[in-house]
């Protein structure tokens, strides 16, 4: 006779959302039948990931990537609005880890399990729904035209000291993300405040006193640093900065040696994805050894898989950072500053720091 416990377990299994197997030729055919496309909303510049898009489409003939690049806050709002209307993207891919986790936590993702997802480090998978696809170290980025190598700060304390000792030199020539307008900015600055609250708020006040420029775009800040109009950019996405520095001798990149925050671009498949088979193909490719190697070798992003090759592979980054490596864990702890009261209080404190005279 079947006991109550067995019946409950069976009921839970029947109620659980489906978990899917790895990609097969049949799934490629299914993706083609769906319409031959996967709609991806991403907070990753298209020009950066074009090699990944090209490689995916070459490997999956008949399926194209309908790629929409936008900032993280716009991505979140657009997806939520469209989901309420019954439409939207198949896959969301964003460096705003907190907003991605919130969407998953709110039921907007579907579970997926494949040979590629199980190859990820355990910390990079949450609920079989959210998947970290990259390492994203934050960096101090500086103008080589404006700062000699020996005076470039390599710790948070050194940056604070430089700004307080030479205020006139850096007035109006600093840049960072605006946490009020950028989801990524809120994530990075709030995580920074948790990592070392004393140093962060002291640095925020020092930057505010020097009229720091506040931006939503990494690319814009890199342009201003390259031109020499901005001397130092704080908490910038290191992958973008590193790639730009390889091509532009005017830009320098420093990983702070006291601690370097490392976030991840998080991807998930929408629960009501219009093209689910194509979405699974795309996610599998993004997480595969080949996809991760292309991210590292050709897109300049830091791969998360240990078996990926390239100068920005996971093993190389961890070796560079050593004890300064400070990863941001994927999970519900990221939701703290999305609470309206905590977010309001953080932004009030930030605004007060920005008005420091």
Q: Do 102 and 222 reside in the same domain of the chain?
A: no
Q: Do 108 and 195 reside in the same domain of the chain?
A: no
Q: What is the pLDDT of residues 213-270, one digit of tens each?
A: 999 989 999 999 999 999 999 999 988 898 899 899 999 999 999 999 998 999 999 9
Residues in the chain: 357
The token pair that represents 136 in the structure block: 């994203």
Residue 318 domain-assigned (yes or no)? no
The token pair that represents 340 in the structure block: 């309206």
**pLDDT at 313 > cutoff 70:** no
Residue 320 domain-assigned (yes or no)? no
Q: Quick one: how far is CA 120 from the chain centroid?
A: 16
CATH number for 184: 3.40.190.10
Q: Do 171 and 107 reside in the same domain of the chain?
A: no
Structural domain including 53 reads 18-133+264-312
Q: Do 188 and 145 reside in the same domain of the chain?
A: yes
Q: Do 257 and 344 reside in the same domain of the chain?
A: yes
The model's confidence at residue 19, banded by pLDDT at 50, 70 and 90, is: very low
**pLDDT at 289 > cutoff 50:** yes
Mean pLDDT, the chain, integer: 88
% the chain with pLDDT above 90: 67
Asked if 337 and 186 count as a contact pair (C-beta separation under 8 A), the reply is yes
3-class state of residue 235 by DSSP: strand
Pairwise CA distance, residues 136 & 264, whole Å = 5
Q: Do 117 and 73 reside in the same domain of the chain?
A: yes
**pLDDT at 29 > cutoff 70:** yes
**pLDDT at 9 > cutoff 50:** no
Residue 64 domain-assigned (yes or no)? yes
pLDDT score of 95: 86
Q: What is the pLDDT of residues 129-157, one digit of tens each?
A: 999 999 889 999 999 999 999 999 999 99
Q: Do 142 and 89 reside in the same domain of the chain?
A: no
Q: Do 291 and 185 reside in the same domain of the chain?
A: no
Q: Using CB atoms within 10 A of its CB, is residue 164 exposed (0-12), middle (13-18) or buried (19+)?
A: middle
Q: Do 156 and 255 reside in the same domain of the chain?
A: yes
Q: Do 256 and 295 reside in the same domain of the chain?
A: no
pLDDT mean over 198-207: 97
pLDDT mean over 166-173: 97
Of the listed ranges 4-8, 18-22, 95-99, 193-197, the least confidently predicted one is: 4-8
pLDDT score of 123: 84
**pLDDT at 5 > cutoff 50:** no
| Angle, vertex CA 35, rays to CA 29 and CA 39, nearest 5 | 110
Pairwise CA distance, residues 290 & 301, whole Å = 14
- Which residue in the block uniquely carries the two structure tokens 């020996």? 150
Residue 6 domain-assigned (yes or no)? no
Pairwise CA distance, residues 10 & 14, whole Å = 6
- Of 16-30, 219-233, 324-338, where does the model show the most confidence? 219-233
The model's confidence at residue 17, banded by pLDDT at 50, 70 and 90, is: very low
pLDDT score of 311: 61
Pairwise CA distance, residues 100 & 123, whole Å = 15
pLDDT score of 148: 93
pLDDT score of 15: 38
Residue 110 domain-assigned (yes or no)? yes
Residue 5 domain-assigned (yes or no)? no
pLDDT score of 122: 85
Residue 278 domain-assigned (yes or no)? yes
Q: Do 27 and 104 reside in the same domain of the chain?
A: yes
Pairwise CA distance, residues 74 & 66, whole Å = 17
pLDDT score of 34: 86
Asked if 221 and 236 count as a contact pair (C-beta separation under 8 A), the reply is yes
| Number of domains making up the chain | 2
pLDDT score of 194: 92
| Alpha-carbon separation of residue 19 from 8, 11, 277 (angstroms) | 19, 16, 13
Instruction: Quote the pTM value.
Output: 0.77
Q: Do 114 and 166 reside in the same domain of the chain?
A: no
Residue 282 domain-assigned (yes or no)? yes
pLDDT score of 116: 95
């Amino acid at each position: 006779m079947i006991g109550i416990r067995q019946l409950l377990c069976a009921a839970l299994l029947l109620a659980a959302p489906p978990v899917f197997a790895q990609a097969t030729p049949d799934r490629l055919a299914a993706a083609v039948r769906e319409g031959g496309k996967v709609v991806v909303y991403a907070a990753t510049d298209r020009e950066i990931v074009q090699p990944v898009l090209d490689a995916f489409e070459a490997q999956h003939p008949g399926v194209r990537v309908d790629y929409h690049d936008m900032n993280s806050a716009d991505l979140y709002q657009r997806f939520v609005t469209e989901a309420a209307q019954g439409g939207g993207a198949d896959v969301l891919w964003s460096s705003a880890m907190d907003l991605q986790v919130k969407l998953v936590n709110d039921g907007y993702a579907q579970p997926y399990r494949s040979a590629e997802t199980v190859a990820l480090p355990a910390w990079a998978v949450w609920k079989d729904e959210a998947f970290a696809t990259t390492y994203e170290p934050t960096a101090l980025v500086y103008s080589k035209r404006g700062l000699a190598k020996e005076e470039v700060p390599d710790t948070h304390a050194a940056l604070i000291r430089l700004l307080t000792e030479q205020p006139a030199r850096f007035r109006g020539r600093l840049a960072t993300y605006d946490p009020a307008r950028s989801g990524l900015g809120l994530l990075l600055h709030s995580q920074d405040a948790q990592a070392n609250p004393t140093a962060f708020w002291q640095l925020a006040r020092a930057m505010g006193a020097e009229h720091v420029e506040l931006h939503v775009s990494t690319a814009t800040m890199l342009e201003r640093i390259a031109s020499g109009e901005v001397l130092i950019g704080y908490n910038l996405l290191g992958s973008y900065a590193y790639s730009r520095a390889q091509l532009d001798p005017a830009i320098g990149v420093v990983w702070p040696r006291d601690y370097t925050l490392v976030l991840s671009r998080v991807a998930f498949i929408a629960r009501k994805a219009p093209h689910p088979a194509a979405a699974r193909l795309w996610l599998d490719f993004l997480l595969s050894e080949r996809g991760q190697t292309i991210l590292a070798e050709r897109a300049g992003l830091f791969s998360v898989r240990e078996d990926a090759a390239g100068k920005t592979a996971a093993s190389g980054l961890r070796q560079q950072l050593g004890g300064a490596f400070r990863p941001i864990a994927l999970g519900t702890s990221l939701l703290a500053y999305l609470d309206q009261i905590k977010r309001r209080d953080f932004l009030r404190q930030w605004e007060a720091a920005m008005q420091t005279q």
